[in-house]
Amino acid sequence: MAVKQLSDGGNAGASLGQSANDKISFYGVTPVAQRTSTVLASSLLSASSYVSVASNTAAILLELSNALVALGAIKTA
């Protein structure tokens, strides 16, 4: 089976989803809408202590991991 391209070859690029409400997925998982993350919005390394930075980093990594799993880009089991 030949590979199907999403691009039309133009220099403008390609995009999946026209809005945050459009659902997309990879590898046959159930499509999901764009996640909203207050963790990422509020954790821009404004912390003054190592503990806060470590906690923010852990929260950011967890959110990114959850988003990639929901899209199907990472398989957990």
* Tens of pLDDT, residues 54-70: 777 888 899 899 999 99
- Highest mean pLDDT: which of 26-30, 33-37, 60-64, 73-77? 26-30
Structural domain contains residue 20: no
Overall number of domains in the chain: 1
Q: Read off the pTM.
A: 0.72
Whether residue 19 is predicted with pLDDT greater than 60 in this model: the reply is yes
- Domain of 44, in residue numbers: 38-71
What pLDDT does residue 42 have?
A: 65
Residue 27 makes CB contacts below 8 A (sequence gap 6+) with 72, 73, 75
Structural domain contains residue 4: no
Contact of 66 with 36, CB cutoff 8 Å:
no
